[in-house]
Chain A
């Protein structure tokens, strides 16, 4: 019985899976924030290289991964798939639990999967510097690594509360030669405006995105890079699910349940899209694909499915997605990477149409699950990842009740080595269980932009 299911390097996927090709109806197009009309490739060209714009809109089902990108991914890929024997024994469940471990990358999470590809395409397009935002620092450190590999400069706007909470993520970015600026900052108009309104703001991903987009738009040698949400980002992450599918086939398994945590949705997309594709094509129709989010920021479970901006300042195209409102500043939970008001338009659509489902967890519940996981499987996971762990455990416990021998697969998206203060807070009983007061917010809400449809 395998514990670790490994693939040879030559099994590192040669192509990404583009789920856009398999959607039964096309995705609603992103709209230009100025005109309200669908964005054109030219609209995006000031901040993205053309190859990524093509991928964003591509109808092609499989897209080749450049060899230069595969060479870098080979440092840690294919990532191992584990069978969680000890966790299963602890839970006394008849379910079989598998997890794809993305914590083996240099930055410690799934984020380099797209960071490497994005840095590569920007380098090929002659871009000298990338500007981006980061919440908990996972994405920032991943892009810092990737830009260093391809010889680009990198400026990272890091959400202020995380900048204070996670000093070692900042240190990693410095090691890889990137500049890390707490956001909101006075370097941009968007940041300055927020600070004038609220000097002590903890910041948010939405604010940091505004700053990075503005930086890119106002510097000719600089492009913008986003770590989640967009189609091309989800595309690059599909190596996770493609590998997992092959690894599961090696042990003659196919998951009944696929689970991932969702902030913007990219790690979830990475593990889930290949399986969702099977489901859309009519095979494995019963696969349950579950997105897990924090109760503090329950975009898919409590948000509205509508067009909204991706950032606070309203600089990005309007995306059709589940949103809590682009001006929502989620509470400072430790899973900083899940503090985003919106979600990937593709994930949103698949949830809306029922191919996938969504659920939310309280902060203390997920840390309890992470502790169980660490004490059985050994890995101390990131607070974001612990959301997926929680639901995997809950699903396994359901099987214990029903006696079903389901196969559960979850994406173990990153390690928590820089999140130990969050674990300390959990043990000290100092973690708050945040909620989203949905009814009151709906009563108060008039801030989603009105889009002519």
Chain B
């Protein structure tokens, strides 16, 4: 192992692969950690290294400096991809890699200093990486699982490379956006039920226009700018309606609304606001019902969560059908940045009550900027989109 250099003139990327990602799920096991042998017996084949290589081949001539892990956790993939400009800074002590290796490798990346962590794995890997990097280091995931629900993943391995190959790249010039890391209940998932929880919100690079195709629209290109516009608009609405209690859902877009009033809201929870102040934080179902007893007019402001486009339901279980019915479907305001919407081609509504879902109608209005909204067709858990 060569020693890491002290300073990097070029962008430095911490690169790691979870070589066993997705193996357990593919053969019907709950998770993969500790079950690799069993997965292999069932015929599972490691495909994460191959997926990672698809991306790395395209980065062969890119002006990046890679820090990586030994063997199948990175080194082998970079070598296979024809990349020589890398340093191995972490070696797994065990024969099989585990989530502990992912976390430890990220700790080493962080202590040396990287501009970005590029990892290949699934939602579990994203969680492990995020646990160490937090929002301090941008993350980008090369998808290697069967399904990826965290928004830190690019659509394909090639897309991950494309994002990093943007012109004018430099440590500070990567456009970043918020990307949810979600926790999927794997057991429920195996039983055919998708149950996710918002785990955290990472910062992730993206390619403006990648999903926009030929359309070049300024306001769609900058996630933070759009978020600021949404927040300013909603703050003006709230100022104009001092009699209404606003329940703000999880996420940074709703967080930005609280920021307009100089307030910090619970990132992953629901907070109640009225007249520019927070009256209660991190609400659960019963505290929401109590507030509904107390206030005559209540509105719910929620954003689109994760890459699967959930609006209500997944990850927002606090808003039970009873809560939603009392608030009233017409009093739900959905917010999302235009970029977020382009990433979520179908919006999903699953309140747990088909009658309530139907109350939203065929289309949903989403506030996407200052005094601006988009109309999107809704998909429901019980039916398909037309």
In the complex, A24 has a CB within 8 A of chain B: no
Cβ contact within 8 Å between A437 and B371: yes
In the complex, A1 has a CB within 8 A of chain B: no
Q: How far is the CB of B216 from chain A (nearest CB, A)?
A: 5
B333: chain A residues within 8 A (beta carbon): 440
- Give the complex CA separation of A37 and B219 in angstroms: 38
Cβ contact within 8 Å between A444 and B374: no
- Give the complex CA separation of A434 and B341 in angstroms: 12
As a 0/1 sequence over residues 203 to 214 of chain B, the CB contacts with chain A under 8 angstroms (1 = contact) are 000000001111
A422: chain B residues within 8 A (beta carbon): 215
A424: chain B residues within 8 A (beta carbon): 213-214
Task: Tell me the nearest residue of chain B to A434, going by C-beta.
Answer: B374
- Give the complex CA separation of A440 and B372 in angstroms: 10
Task: Tell me the nearest residue of chain A to B345, going by C-beta.
Answer: A429
Cβ contact within 8 Å between A432 and B240: no
A296: chain B residues within 8 A (beta carbon): 372
In the complex, B237 has a CB within 8 A of chain A: yes
In the complex, A164 has a CB within 8 A of chain B: yes
Q: How far is the CB of B245 from chain A (nearest CB, A)?
A: 15
As a 0/1 sequence over residues 179 to 222 of chain B, the CB contacts with chain A under 8 angstroms (1 = contact) are 00000000000000000000000000000000111111111101
Q: For chain B, what secondary structure do more than half of its interface residues adopt (helix, strand, loop), or is it mixed?
A: mixed
As a 0/1 sequence over residues 48 to 80 of chain B, the CB contacts with chain A under 8 angstroms (1 = contact) are 000000000000000000000000000000000
Cβ contact within 8 Å between A201 and B214: no
In the complex, A445 has a CB within 8 A of chain B: yes
In the complex, A10 has a CB within 8 A of chain B: no
In the complex, A387 has a CB within 8 A of chain B: no
Cβ contact within 8 Å between B215 and A425: yes
Cβ contact within 8 Å between B370 and A329: yes
In the complex, B152 has a CB within 8 A of chain A: no
In the complex, B241 has a CB within 8 A of chain A: yes
- Give the complex CA separation of A332 and B216 in angstroms: 9
As a 0/1 sequence over residues 365 to 383 of chain B, the CB contacts with chain A under 8 angstroms (1 = contact) are 1011111111110000000
In the complex, A200 has a CB within 8 A of chain B: yes
In the complex, B107 has a CB within 8 A of chain A: no
Cβ contact within 8 Å between B218 and A200: yes
B211: chain A residues within 8 A (beta carbon): 430
Q: How far is the CB of B209 from chain A (nearest CB, A)?
A: 10
Q: Which of A328, A332, A444 contacts B218 (CB 8 A)?
A: A332
- Give the complex CA separation of A421 and B217 in angstroms: 12
- Give the complex CA separation of A432 and B372 in angstroms: 12
Q: How far is the CB of A336 from chain B (nearest CB, A)?
A: 11
Q: How far is the CB of B377 from chain A (nearest CB, A)?
A: 9
Q: Which of A331, A432, A444 contacts B233 (CB 8 A)?
A: A444
Question: Which residues in window 214-254 of B have CB below 8 A to A?
Answer: 214-220, 222, 225, 233-234, 236-237, 239-241
B215: chain A residues within 8 A (beta carbon): 421-422, 425, 430-431
Q: Which of B237, B342, B374 contacts A443 (CB 8 A)?
A: B237
Q: How far is the CB of B218 from chain A (nearest CB, A)?
A: 4
In the complex, A428 has a CB within 8 A of chain B: yes
Cβ contact within 8 Å between A164 and B239: no
As a 0/1 sequence over residues 200 to 211 of chain A, the CB contacts with chain B under 8 angstroms (1 = contact) are 111000000000
A434: chain B residues within 8 A (beta carbon): 372-375
In the complex, A165 has a CB within 8 A of chain B: yes
Q: Which of B214, B222, B367 contacts A421 (CB 8 A)?
A: B214
- Give the complex CA separation of A300 and B217 in angstroms: 25
Question: Which residues in window 349-363 of A have CB below 8 A to B?
Answer: 362
Q: How far is the CB of A389 from chain B (nearest CB, A)?
A: 20
- Give the complex CA separation of A200 and B208 in angstroms: 14
B342: chain A residues within 8 A (beta carbon): 430
A362: chain B residues within 8 A (beta carbon): 375
- Give the complex CA separation of A295 and B363 in angstroms: 14
B375: chain A residues within 8 A (beta carbon): 295, 362, 433-435
Task: Tell me the nearest residue of chain A to B212, going by C-beta.
Answer: A430
- Give the complex CA separation of A188 and B126 in angstroms: 49
In the complex, B14 has a CB within 8 A of chain A: no
- Give the complex CA separation of A422 and B212 in angstroms: 11
In the complex, A446 has a CB within 8 A of chain B: yes
Q: Which of A160, A430, A433, A444 contacts B240 (CB 8 A)?
A: A444
- Give the complex CA separation of A70 and B286 in angstroms: 76
A437: chain B residues within 8 A (beta carbon): 365, 367, 371-373
Task: Tell me the nearest residue of chain B to A161, going by C-beta.
Answer: B218
A sample of 22 cross-chain residue pairs with beta-carbon separation below 8 angstroms, ordered by A number, consists of A160-B218, A161-B217, A161-B219, A164-B218, A200-B222, A330-B372, A331-B369, A331-B372, A332-B219, A422-B215, A430-B211, A430-B212, A432-B338, A432-B374, A433-B374, A434-B375, A435-B365, A436-B372, A436-B373, A440-B233, A444-B233, A444-B240
Given contacts A202-B219, A331-B369, A435-B375, 6 further A-B contacts (CB under 8 A): A329-B371, A332-B218, A428-B214, A434-B374, A434-B375, A440-B233
Q: Which residues from chain A sit less than 8 Å from chain B, CB to CB?
A: 160-161, 164-165, 200-202, 295-296, 328-332, 362, 421-422, 424-425, 428, 430-437, 440-441, 443-446
